Chain A
Amino acid sequence: MNVSVNLPGLNLKNPVMPASGCFAFGKEFAQFYDLSNLGAVIMKAATKERRFGNGTPRVAETASGMLNAIGLQNPGVESIITDEIPFLKNYHLPIIANVAGSTVEEYVEVAEKISPHVDAIELNISCPNVKEGGVQFGTDPALAKEVTRDVVEVSNIPVYVKLSPNVTDIVGMALAAEEAGASGLSMINTLTGMRIDPKTRKPVIANGTGGLSGAAIKPISIRMIHQVYQAVTIPIIGMGGIESAEDVLEYLLAGASAVAIGSANFKNPFICKEIIEELPAVLARYGFSSVKEAIGGAHHEKVETPVLRS
């Protein structure tokens, strides 16, 4: 079974990678299995300066998912280059840097600094948990275009734009990124959500709102990828609630060329490895002889999905 996939900047021996923010910089998971098993790794977000993040509690459980408002806590791009990337290099797998910022200039500076050290950039214009920057770039097509164009210009590696689902027109956002020169898309980030504690009558998460991830968001992500796949020519890395090899196949059929696994790593630290091991048998069971054959497999007949244009 051929499970390899070649995407711009990423020669993946299999299509499975941990999602940004759910795997830190790999060290914690290296105690459970050999990271060389992974197709690639998407690092935790890098910002220009070290960030502490939001107040605690920062996570809350929901039915079939979780809310988080970490707030892009990271040691800053310089420290990531010096202290974190060398460890990941030991595993000879493609490294994707998640780049975040508050202004276009900050995104550009981080991308420029980190691009010589990694294989691709995931441009994070969709974090719902930071007040300045972040999601505003991911909900306004003009801003998305501007930041993508400027980051692509200074990066000598492919740029994947991570889209926010917190928009009415996901296709418009995808097209904006493609037109600005993105090599691929990464979708979706978390959906803004909230929980309230009946005892205190306050939000459970100190930040008020948080990003919803987990199985609960999978149907939304599948729908959005299905829509976007029909509209763009660049590849999509799909994510949102993947917990099994069947889920991976569903993403491939919707139009993703590779997938990232996020909060499921918290439930089961072995999840990425287990899914990679199960994937060939699952593909075979449904009549596929390679991963490539499954990509976009749900598009052989036209499926009407409502396209919401704001």
Chain B
Amino acid sequence: MKNERMTILRHEKVARDTHLLMLQGDLVQDIADPGQFVHVKIEGFYLRRPISIADYDSKNDTVTLIYKIMGDGTKALTRSQIGERVDVLGPGGQGFPTARIHGDHALIIGGGIGVPPLYSAAKILKENGVAVTSILGFRSREDAFLLDEFRALGKVHVTTEDGSLGRSGRVTDALPHVKENYQHYLSCGPTVMLKAVADHLPDKEGYLSMEERMGCGIGACFACVVESKDEKGYKRICCDGPVFKAGEVVLS
């Protein structure tokens, strides 16, 4: 893990309260798996903000983050300009083990700001010869992003809670409409969504990426723990996760 001041190459709004930030720096070389995150320092705010990695390019040392304005800190981040440098700690955590996913078809299930880390995972699976079908759920049409990018990788089912785009309802409402025979699923979103997804798909091998408020982002403060079924009884989302195998942690 590195602590580096990365240079902003791109910074633009991609959906309601949702921004894309492309950064360049050496720590990109340390990214092992899609689904890892970076811990970003925002000037004037006490704690860093964990932001998942949506895409990365080791050839050009770039990383793409897509974040949502959740409060004053992320709102302040939207004001940083191209050419400025951002204090980044990362890459953190364990991502999706794409190299160990050997089935011929995987289902991607993302909800809201849980969609970004699934993009690089889906891209890498496709490169590895695993076909991908995606279900992307948003609150409303204005909140949707990355749809074209996912469509370039395979079939995409879109759901919105208000029915303004795609199927009306939640990501689990789209599950019965997936006709492809997939062996694995990869999901990221709020814990209630992950629980619903895991409950619907007990017979598939699943990987779930979790989110939680973090302190240190490196495993030292024990702020972002989740109960686990092993002898230890807990996992730290920032360093043991954020991606866990379905069944490994207690979703409640």
A interacts with B: yes
Tell me whether B225 is interfacial, beta carbon within 8 Å. Answer: yes
Query: B219's contact among A21, A24, A52, A73, by CB below 8 Å, is which?
Result: A24
Do A28 and B219 have beta carbons less than 8 Å apart? yes
Nearest-CB residue, chain B, relative to A63: B46
Residues 20-40 of A at the B interface (beta carbon under 8 Å): 21-24, 27-29, 31-32
Binds B, one of A104-112, A143-151, A169-177, A264-272: A264-272
B233 proximity list for chain A (CB < 8 A): 50, 52
Counting chain A residues whose Cβ lies within 8 A of the other chain, the interface size class is 35 or more
Q: A61 to B45, alpha carbons, bound, how many Å?
A: 8
Tell me whether B215 is interfacial, beta carbon within 8 Å. Answer: yes
Q: A227 to B239, alpha carbons, bound, how many Å?
A: 41
Q: A63 to B89, alpha carbons, bound, how many Å?
A: 22
Nearest-CB residue, chain B, relative to A264: B46
Do A66 and B47 have beta carbons less than 8 Å apart? yes
Nearest-CB residue, chain B, relative to A197: B71
B215 proximity list for chain A (CB < 8 A): 58-59, 66, 68, 263, 266
CB distance from A168 to the nearest CB of B (A): 28
B214 proximity list for chain A (CB < 8 A): 59
B225 proximity list for chain A (CB < 8 A): 52-53, 56, 58, 73
Do A267 and B220 have beta carbons less than 8 Å apart? no
A128 proximity list for chain B (CB < 8 A): none
A27 proximity list for chain B (CB < 8 A): 219
Say whether, besides A24-B222, A28-B216, A267 and B1 are in contact (CB < 8 Å).
no
Q: A305 to B251, alpha carbons, bound, how many Å?
A: 51
Do B46 and A68 have beta carbons less than 8 Å apart? no
Do B46 and A56 have beta carbons less than 8 Å apart? no
Say whether, besides A28-B239, A61-B46, A265 and B216 are in contact (CB < 8 Å).
yes
Tell me whether B212 is interfacial, beta carbon within 8 Å. Answer: yes
Tell me whether A280 is interfacial, beta carbon within 8 Å. Answer: no
Query: B41's contact among A44, A52, A265, A267, by CB below 8 Å, is which?
Result: A267
B221 proximity list for chain A (CB < 8 A): 21-22, 24, 59, 68, 70, 266
CB distance from A275 to the nearest CB of B (A): 16
Tell me whether B234 is interfacial, beta carbon within 8 Å. Answer: yes
Q: A60 to B233, alpha carbons, bound, how many Å?
A: 24
Q: A97 to B207, alpha carbons, bound, how many Å?
A: 37
Tell me whether B223 is interfacial, beta carbon within 8 Å. Answer: yes
Tell me whether A297 is interfacial, beta carbon within 8 Å. Answer: no
Chief secondary structure at chain A's binding surface: loop
- When each residue 41-79 of chain A gets 1 if its CB lies under 8 Å from chain B and 0 otherwise, what string results? 000100000101100111111111110101001010000
CB distance from A94 to the nearest CB of B (A): 19
Do A56 and B47 have beta carbons less than 8 Å apart? no
CB distance from A249 to the nearest CB of B (A): 23
Do B212 and A31 have beta carbons less than 8 Å apart? no
Q: A116 to B48, alpha carbons, bound, how many Å?
A: 38
Q: A113 to B213, alpha carbons, bound, how many Å?
A: 34
A73 proximity list for chain B (CB < 8 A): 222, 225, 234
Do B3 and A270 have beta carbons less than 8 Å apart? yes
A268 proximity list for chain B (CB < 8 A): 3
A28 proximity list for chain B (CB < 8 A): 216, 218-220, 239
Do A265 and B220 have beta carbons less than 8 Å apart? yes
Q: A214 to B47, alpha carbons, bound, how many Å?
A: 10
Say whether, besides A28-B239, A64-B46, A266 and B222 are in contact (CB < 8 Å).
no
A52 proximity list for chain B (CB < 8 A): 225, 227, 233-234
Q: Which of A29, A65, A75, A266 has the most CB of B within 10 A?
A: A266
Tell me whether B190 is interfacial, beta carbon within 8 Å. Answer: no
A61 proximity list for chain B (CB < 8 A): 45-47, 73
Q: A198 to B232, alpha carbons, bound, how many Å?
A: 36
Residues 64-105 of B at the A interface (beta carbon under 8 Å): 73, 89
Query: B46's contact among A53, A57, A58, A214, by CB below 8 Å, is which?
Result: A214
CB distance from A43 to the nearest CB of B (A): 11
What are 24 inter-chain pairs, A to B, with CB distance below 8 A? A22-B220, A22-B221, A24-B219, A28-B239, A29-B218, A52-B227, A52-B234, A53-B222, A56-B223, A56-B224, A57-B213, A59-B214, A59-B221, A59-B223, A61-B45, A61-B47, A66-B46, A66-B47, A70-B222, A73-B225, A75-B232, A263-B215, A267-B48, A268-B3
Interface residues of B (CB under 8 A from A): 1, 3, 41, 45-48, 73, 89, 212-227, 232-234, 239
5 smallest CB-CB distances across A and B, nearest first, come from: A57-B213, A24-B220, A266-B216, A59-B223, A28-B220
Given contacts A31-B1, A52-B234, A269-B216, 12 further A-B contacts (CB under 8 A): A22-B221, A28-B219, A29-B220, A31-B218, A53-B222, A63-B46, A73-B234, A263-B46, A263-B215, A266-B221, A267-B46, A268-B3
